Amino acid sequence: MIFNVSYNDHKIKQQINDTVGKPFGLIDRWRMKGIGSGRLIIFECTEDLEMLIRKTNDTAYTNIEIRPKGIIVGIKSIRETYAWVIPYYKLSIFKTANYLAVYDGKNKLKARPTNKTDKLNVFLQKVMGLKDKNVTSIS
């Protein structure tokens, strides 16, 4: 699901929280040593995401936030901010030496890190650990 989160809409916030859980608290963020990825450069995506990104000729950036039941991929386009909400049971994530690929069954996005990939590896280990824990607790 893709939401426009540029404006403070309580219905959208509630839908996001119902889908991927409420944001982690300060203590949990500190214990996890962060819940966000670094800045990533988008270089390929599906048409739904492409329509949001290509409104500008600037480089398209994204970031990923971990939530208890999924992730939120943040996409900024001109004056609008979008949140691609993916619960763990729909999430497929792959990392190669050059890029990161995120899939939810319908949409896909490929991005490469702007800085060190070591931090991205640590971030992905957190995501996969939470995904394993979440998906196994459901079944």
Domains, in order of start, for the chain:
2-138 (2.30.29.30)
pLDDT at 38: 85
Which pTM value belongs to this model? Answer: 0.89
Contacts by 1-8, CB closer than 8 A, 24 or more apart: 1/84, 1/85, 2/48, 2/49, 2/52, 2/82, 2/83, 2/84, 2/85, 2/107, 3/82, 3/83, 3/85, 4/80, 4/81, 4/82, 5/81, 5/82, 5/83, 6/79, 6/80, 6/81
The string of pLDDT tens digits covering residues 78-91 is: 788 899 999 999 99
The string of pLDDT tens digits covering residues 101-138 is: 999 989 999 998 887 667 788 888 888 888 888 877 65
What value does the mean pLDDT of the chain take? 87
